[in-house]
Amino acid sequence: MAAAAASSSPPLLLGWLYALSRQALVPAFFRGPPPRRSYRGSSPADSQKDMLEIPLPPWQERTDESLETKRARLLYESRKRGMLENCILLRS
């Protein structure tokens, strides 16, 4: 009888340790229900008065630019734009 009680204790203890370790390893953020997020879009009454009108310089074709210089310039501009977009995304 004592052997039967001793053999039933380890599975119970292991189950308790597993549950305890799982709670310690999984943050509370992941255990709860997922947060409700939704995008409703802009409202129909939005007048967009808060939008800024940023004047863009007129586009000028660069005919005197070599292909290598154009590639380097476009690569630089695309990386610069990517960094600016990351800044916008990470601060909001």
- Structural domain contains residue 10: no
Q: pLDDT per residue over 16-70, tens digit each?
A: 666 666 666 666 556 666 666 666 666 666 666 777 788 888 988 889 999 999 9
pTM value > 0.85: no
Our CA angle for 45, 46, 49, nearest 5°, is 135
Report yes or no on 50 lying in a domain.
no
The predicted pLDDT at position 41 comes to 64
Q: Within a domain: residue 84?
A: yes
Q: What are phi and psi for residue 45, nearest 5 degrees? A: -85, 5
Find the domain containing 71 and state its range: 65-91
Buried b (16+ CB within 10 A) or exposed e, 50-77: eeeeeeeeeeeeeeeeeeeeeeeeeeee
Query: What is the structure's pLDDT at 73?
Result: 94
How many domains, the chain?
1
Q: What are phi and psi of 8, to 5 degrees?
A: -85, -15
Indicate whether 33 belongs to any domain: no
Q: Is residue 45 included in any domain, yes or no?
A: no
Of 52 and 6, the one with more pLDDT = 52
Residue 69 within any structural domain of the chain: yes
Residue 58 within any structural domain of the chain:
no
Please state the length of the chain: 92
19 part of a folded domain? no
